[in-house]
Every structure is written in structure tokens, then in C-alpha cells.
Amino acid sequence: MPRITWISSRTDGPVTSRDRHSPRILGINPWIYDFAAYNLWSRPVGLLACLEMLRRTGCTVSLLDCLDGSWSNVPWPEPSPDGSGRLPKIEVPKPLQLEHVPRRFSRYGLPMHTVRETLTDLDPPPDLVVITTLMTYWYPGARAASELVRTIWPDTSVVLGGVYATACPEHAESLDSFDLILSGPLEAEENWRSLWRLLKSEPPPLPEDAGLTFFRQGYPSPQYSFLLASRGCPLSCTYCASGILYPGLARRDPENVIDEAARDWQRGARDFAFFDDALLLAPQPWLEELLACLPARLPGVRLHAPNALHVRALDSRTCQLLKAAGLSTIRLGLETANFASRPDSKLSREEWDAGLRNLFAAGFNRRQIGAYILFGLPGQDFNDVHQAAAFAWSYGIQPHVAEYSPIPGSGLFSEAERCSDYPLSEEPLFQNSSVWPCVPGGFSWSARQHLRSVLSSARPKGG
């Protein structure tokens, strides 16, 4: 049976008797309950930031990530050579609200009995459990984890954080499953104070770089890892929730970012995904220092950028640095080919042309580059998706459809509410991109087939 262990605040290693008075905090990244899920080097970075903040302020911490495949004796689908891959799943009944959706619904991640036995074995038990949520409509996973925790340790406080807690705090309150709901980052003053109140202690000062350093020791043999050098994004595209989840923009010293990642490299990780929302929008000396140090400190590393890179920042020098640093998966935020009426102001046709030219000139090949195109925006028709896909293919790069998920507080949410058949703000399950909440008629297999034929008709023969 896999085990999770307590990590000491003093030594950054296993606890000893000298840690017996430290508060013990367990972080849980719960299962995903959804129609589909795929692992693109995913890590619960918000939770890892919370655990590291707490560890550095005197707590003993531990992590149970229900989506981590490095548990030696749990069967897991074979990952791709680059570390991404499918997650194990078991079909479960659909929530009542989604019963009409003609798709199978599953729980993704570690088997329930494995999680139960692992938690039961954790000795000594936690004083407090922090559960994260990576999407608003994944709250059933957090609720299931909370129920399990309460069954095993009825007196332990359970705190909810993450995207759902931040974007839908009233709904989270209504579940009555959590002792505290952290809307926004833990390092926000009121959140920090509230959590320590639950621990019946005065809040200590926040550690330096709070929110920008991560508890990586919970993955002793990581199959892949991540780099996160900045948080937040200075832009505010109407379909995106970045500004709600992390207001402002914070950057970390590149040397410290790489020191931290190098520990995962020493533990065996060779694939690292950038999770920054606005990596390339940082000023040049900072970005240059970060990228220039990578090849020497993380030799042989393969870098991936599953979050779209900002095309307008892809000047010739940046593309050369990205190439030299080992970037091998590039996703660009094309979104639409209709540059005259975009739902954002992040890209012009000229910037797109220049960015692609610079990537190719730096030596990236077309197979390494993909373009996200948005599907399912309020009022969008299939023709827009066709045009965007054909546009991407005209540069020889593959379009990747990103289904729109309306997040409360984002610029487009009111319009999404108006055009959707679902009460989006009442029930986060309807914010699930897989149900096509803003597409007239919603998801159906025939509409999905239509989308597929639209996409394949945009593909050039032999492309």
C-alpha cells in the first residue's frame, strides 16, 4: 500500500519527535468527476503553494494527490513518452443536474479504497486538511474528499481552496462540507488570518515569496514536474478567469525558481511544464535570465507550455532562448481567426505572423506547435471554428479546440448567462465545458460529429 508521510518544517525531511508540537496540515488534491479528463502534466500548484507557505511557517505538512500516477502499486494508464497521459477512471452515476447529458460520467484518479486506506494509515492524524479544486465544476471531488476525511477524523477541520472556492464561494458554503472556504490565495491577509484562527494560533508573518514557492516533496519520484516563475496576468481576456484567481502579477527570482525545480530534476523528472499565465509578458532581463540558466541547471530537460504562450511576445531573441532552453511543446492562444472582432486584445494578425516566423526561424518544427481555438463562446457559430482551424492549418500547425467554460466573475459571464439554457450562476456543474453550456441545444453526439466534420474540412488534403 502506498504511504504518505509528514514532512518537517525544520529539516524539510521526515518528522522527528522534535516536530511533535507543530500543527500537522494535510493537503488533498481530490478526484476529478467529469465526462472527460486528461493529464497535461497537471499539478495542484495553488495547493502546493499553500503547503509550502505553511511548512515554512512552522507546520508539518503532507500531500495526497489523487491524480498522481507515481504510486508504485496502483495501476495507471501508460503515460506518453513526454509524461502526459490518461488518468485511471471508474464510471459513476451522473449528478442529477447532468442526467440528460448523453455522455458517460466518471471519477478519475486513485481508487477510492486506496485513498481511504492511505488516509487511515496516516499516523499521527492531521490537525487540519486543505482540499483544493482546479475547476468550479469539479466540486463533487472536493465534497467526496471532505466526506471521507470527516468519516476518518470527525474532529479535524476541513478547509476548501482553489478555483471553485474562489469563483463560487456562496455555492461552496451551501454544501456545508467545509469549515472554512478560502476565496482567493491563502496569502491574502484575511485568508491567512482565518486559517490560523482554525488552528487556534496567532498568524505568523507570511514567508518570503509566499505563493511563489511550492511543496514538491510530496512527489518523491515525480514522473514530470512544473516551472512556475510568475503568477497572474496583466491582460483581462473576457473568457478567462486568471484575474479572478490571482489578481495582479507577481514574479519570482529566476535563480530561486530553477533551484527549486532542480530538486525535482534530481528526483528523476525530465519533463517540466510551464504553468505561468503570462510567462513571456515579463520584462526581458528577467525572462532571459530564467531561460538562459535552464539548460545548464536542468540538462536534458524537455519543456512544455500547455498554457498558451503570448504570441505577441515571441520575438526572435525569445524564440531562440526558448529553443535553447529545451522547449518541445508549444501551444499558442490563437482563439479565433477573426482578428477584427476578437473577444480579447491580445493578438493582431501581424503579431501572429511575426511570432510564427520567429518560432520557425529559431528551429521549432510544425509538429511541436499547436494553436488553441475557442469553441462554445456565447453567440459563436461553427463557421468561426472552421475559419480558425483553417487559418492554423494554413501555417502547417494543428488546431486544438478549447471548449469554453463560463467562470463567474469573468468578463463574458453575464453574456454567457443570458445565452445559456442553464442557470450558470446557480449551479457550477453547468459551467462544465463538456456540456457546451453556451451552445444552442448543448452537447449532443450529432453536434459533436458536426464539429468534427467542420474541423476535418478545414484540414488541407495530406495535412
Which of 326, 65, 56 lies closest to 211, judged by CA?
Answer: 56
- Separation CA 162–CA 183 (nearest Å): 8
Q: Where are the beta strands (DSSP E) in 346-411?
A: 369-375, 398-403
Q: Prior bond to 124 cis, omega within 30?
A: yes
List the one residue from 277, 384, 403, 417 that touches ligand SF4 (CB under 6 A). 277
Q: To the nearest whole angstrom, how small is the minimum distance from the Cβ of residue 351 to ligand SF4? A: 13
Burial 237-272 (b: 16+ CB within 10 A, else e): bbbbbbbbbbeebbbbebeebbebbbebbeeebbbb
- Contact of 139 with 428, CB cutoff 8 Å: yes
In the complex, least distance from residue 331 CB atom to ligand SF4, rounded to whole angstroms: 11
DSSP-assigned letter for residue 209 = T
Smallest separation, CB 305 to ligand SF4 (Å) = 12
d(CA 342, CA 238): 10
What is d(CA 148, CA 116) in angstroms, rounded to the nearest whole number?
Answer: 7
Q: Is 240 in the site for ligand SF4 (CB under 6 A)?
A: yes
DSSP classification of residue 137: G
Q: Which of the stretches 32-40, 232-240, 282-290, 383-391 binds ligand SF4 when contact is defined by CB under 6 A?
A: 232-240
What whole-number distance in Å separates Cα of residue 416 and Cα of residue 438? 6
Residue 344 or 351: which CB sits closer to ligand SF4?
Answer: 344
Binding of residue 213 to ligand SF4 (CB under 6 A): no
DSSP assignment of 290-307: HHHHHHHHSTT-EEEEEE
Q: How many residues bind ligand SF4 (CB under 6 A)?
A: 11
346 binds ligand SF4 (CB under 6 A): yes
CA atoms within 13 A on the CB side of 41: 22
Handedness of CA 151, 156, 162, 165 (dihedral sign): positive
- Binding string, 300-339, against ligand SF4, x = CB under 6 A? ---------------------------------x------
Position among 50, 67, 237, 359 found at the interface with ligand SF4 (CB under 6 A) = 237
CB of 237 to ligand SF4, least distance (A): 3
Distance CA 236, CA 410 (A): 9
Residue from 179, 253, 344, 415 binding ligand SF4 (CB under 6 A)? 344
In terms of CB distance, is 160 or 240 closer to ligand SF4?
A: 240
Q: Does 242 help bind ligand SF4 (rule: CB under 6 A)?
A: yes
Positive/negative CA dihedral, 374, 379, 383, 384: negative
Give min distance, CB of 120 to ligand SF4, in A. Answer: 40
Minimal distance, residue 99 CB to ligand SF4, in Å: 32
Check binding of 397 to ligand SF4 (CB under 6 A). no
The answer to whether 167 contacts ligand SF4 (rule: CB under 6 A) is no
- Told to check if 40 binds ligand SF4 by CB under 6 A, we report no
Among residues 114, 236, 368, 398, the one that binds ligand SF4 under rule CB under 6 A? 236
Which C-beta is closer to ligand SF4: that of 302 or that of 346?
A: 346
Determine if 276 is a binding residue for ligand SF4 (CB under 6 A). no
Q: Are 108 and 89 in contact (CB under 8 A)?
A: yes
Rounded-to-integer distance, Cα 449 and Cα 461, Å: 20
Pick 49 or 311: Cβ nearer ligand SF4: 311
Measured from the CB atom, the residue of 237 and 419 that comes closer to ligand SF4 is 237
Should residue 235 be labelled a site residue for ligand SF4 when binding is judged by CB under 6 A?
yes
- Closest to ligand SF4 by CB, 23 vs 333, is 333
Find the part of the chain contacting ligand SF4 (CB under 6 A) among 36-44, 233-241, 373-381, 397-405: 233-241
Residue 22: CB minimum distance to ligand SF4, A:
37
Compute the distance between CA of residue 58 and CA of residue 367 in angstroms, rounded to an integer: 47
Of the candidates 4, 47, 181, 233, which one interacts with ligand SF4 according to CB under 6 A?
A: 233
Minimum CB–partner distance for residue 173 and ligand SF4 (Å): 27
Non-local CB neighbours of 134 within 8 Å, separated by 6+ positions: 29, 32, 42, 44, 162, 163
Q: Can you give the binding site for ligand SF4, defined by CB under 6 A?
A: 233, 235-237, 240, 242, 277-278, 333, 344, 346
